Structure 1
Amino acid sequence: MRAVVIKSFGGPEVLEVVETPLPEPGPGQVRVKVAAAALNPVDAAFRDGYIAPLTDGQLGLGWDFAGTVDAAGEGAGFAPGTAVVGLSYGPAATKSHADHVVVDASAVAPAPTTVDTVHAATLALNALTAAQALDLLALSPGDSLLITGAAGALGGFAVQLAHRAGITVTALAGPDDEQLVRSLGADTFVPRGATVAPAAADAVLDAAVMGEPALAYVRDGGAHVGVIPGASPAPVRSVRVETVEVSPDGARLAELVKLLDAGVLTTRVAGTYPLGEVAKAHTRLAEGGVRGRLVLIP
């Protein structure tokens, strides 16, 4: 099968599409024939060498995906032919930017029925991260939450999930993103770079990775959740500071799929690229201003 790997760290030029043996699922695992796989900033971070070392001389890329189970290990619970979405978590020699991916069955869920595979492939990583970040914040209906990077994939899901939970949402995003974030459920919009600071919120979800400056948006004794392990600011004013590190969770992903099918969540695709043009996709991601996810098609 073909798989996107890196054998050294650097820019998009280090990406390779190589032929590699078809992986076999073990007990409790499934092999998925990938129909589409999203490109996320974490893939660029892997490529740049910020997160994980090379595994056996190479490192695969790709986290979330949509496709069809074509082989299942003992006790996997998914029959071949089942359409699924899932998360290929952590470093490995090959991941979901490939023709096939093997993952634990506990990391996949039945695919949504209301969107195509390209849109379905953008759900797992960002929606799970948003849901798990909100779990850490432990807010109640009526509490206030400011979300930085609210127009991004992670931030957008967080706006929708928080709005559904009855939380009052302030969205901080680019000046041209007000209509978008309000359509997702934001109650208040703050343009990035505004000279007048918003009212302090009960909590901040820092999807834009602002770091220490985002603490200014939290009330004394509030909460701050970052999205990059090891990059959270030091706590001040009794603010509780935590970091979400996404965990594969097929049961939770199945709940998010139902919310997508019910129209509560919205997937956004900025463009598609053939797997062989992965370097072009990485270059486009690095240019910035992408609203939605770029998706690779094997």
Structure 2
Amino acid sequence: MDWDKLRIFHAVADAGSLTHAGDQLHLSQSAVSRQVRALEESLNATLFHRHARGLILTEQGELLFDATRAMLKRLDAATARIRDSEEEVFGELRVTTTTGFGTLWLAPRLPKLYAKYPDLKIDLMLEERVLDLPMREADVAIRMKEPSQADLIRKRLMSVHMCLYATHSYVALHGNPEAPEDLQAHRLICQNPRSAQVGAAATLVNELMTNDISSLLTVNNYFGVLQGVLHDLGVGVLPDYLIRDFPQLVRVLPDVSSNEVPVFLAYPEELRHSKRISAFRDFVQDEIIAYRKTMKEQALG
């Protein structure tokens, strides 16, 4: 079977449109249509139902799409393994994590990784949606819960708690609340409980809201919450891993925190021997060890 025709068929099935597939493949709509028609003739089967709103796969088309998707997945994995040098770490590594962890913890530490592996190319994908690692939407993930997808290697990195923070200057000006009900006199800055986030954080915010908070600023990610806190807008709900990197923050109501949030690193089983994955995994683990050491020293000191 002609691989070019299969490749074009897959693009059309994925896009649901001849025009969009043509744009991705840098082919004209008529050229894409001819290739799909030729594939249907060679298989003696109709692969798409055509209507005004686009294309829908037939039952035969679904079968072929499942096959091409599996083929591309295997090709991606083979390509990744081929590109991994036995001696060097280079090439693209697609890393997915949450917006908060990616911007506030991971990105500031990446200079160390690039200093060690200057030929590595990181594609950092920050979003709350859990990308499908076995389907190669990303190479490696750091998530705030244990991944449930099959065929993944996973390692627990650390635990996080959501706590209340303000700046030293804010507390000096507005006072330090001594009990949760004292938050009535302060602006609370947090993620909207309805936004995508770990359940422990949403639970904590909902509990804080029962204190008749009069002034509120909600943001859809922790980077925005942090900016509000740093600019003395109020008391913010933030992950405790920030305290090392932002010494201007002070813990407010130290007895108030969320339940434990586990942080996991995960990658597909088929990338077990990837040099890029190994380099990134070891880098993150080393940074976690350094983070724990600093936190322990601060607690003792």
Q: TM-score, normalised by structure 2?
A: 0.24
Q: Tell me which protein shows more strand as a share of its residues.
A: 1
Q: TM-score, normalised by structure 1?
A: 0.25
Q: Tell me which protein shows more helix as a share of its residues.
A: 2
Larger Rg: 2
